[in-house]
Amino acid sequence: MDTTVERAFQKLEANLEELTKIYRSLLDIVRKEKELLLKADRISLEESNKLKEDLLFKLRAQDSLRSRYAMDLAGLIGADIENPRLLELAQKMAGSPAADRLRTQHSALDMLIKRITVINKENEEYANSALSTLNGAMNEIKETLSGKKTYEKKGGYKSGPQVSGNFVSKEA
């Protein structure tokens, strides 16, 4: 392999290793987030969300570098410069240890992203379920505490549960 190609590959490989490290950290966070959602630990959830936002910011920065490094390498080896793909780069570098390393890094990143996506969707379902339950409970409380707007048969105004003694039925 030519020295310029080797340097371009090394930049891309270092970047992919950094991306893998960040994705692993993100996977740990979304796994812990699931536990925090089940415990309903609001303070820890806020901290977890902050960490997740920081990691996503780092991912965006690293991904833009990955794109640039992949374009540089693609230009040097004759691959698609506009939309360089790791597997295509590995195919163009077939027969070299670099091609195998690109395939390995691609599969590791792909697996991490799939796991993160699945766990994040589960977390979203837990959060939506908790919100739905909470909204239902809040609506029930509002209905119970709001005054009744119906009239009794005698034409007098019927007191709602906000009046002392009406919150719980005497018959219960």
Domains in the chain: boundaries? 3-145
Contact indicator for 11, 69 with CB cutoff of 8 Å? yes
In the chain, which stretches have pLDDT less than 70?
1, 146-172
Contact indicator for 18, 61 with CB cutoff of 8 Å? no
Contact indicator for 103, 90 with CB cutoff of 8 Å? yes
- Which phi-psi region, left, alpha or beta, contains residue 95 (left: φ > 0; alpha: ψ -120 to 50)? left
pLDDT at 140 (0 to 100): 79
Token pair belonging to 77: 């080896």
Query: Of the CATH numbers 1.10.238, 1.10.10, 1.20.58, 1.10.3470, which one belongs to the domain with range 3-145?
Result: 1.20.58
Task: Give the closest residue to 12 by CA, choosing from 70, 87, 61.
Answer: 70
pLDDT at 105 (0 to 100): 93
Please name the residue that has the structure tokens 């909470």: 134
pLDDT at 60 (0 to 100): 94
- State the greatest distance between any 2 C-alpha atoms of the chain, in Å, as a whole number: 99
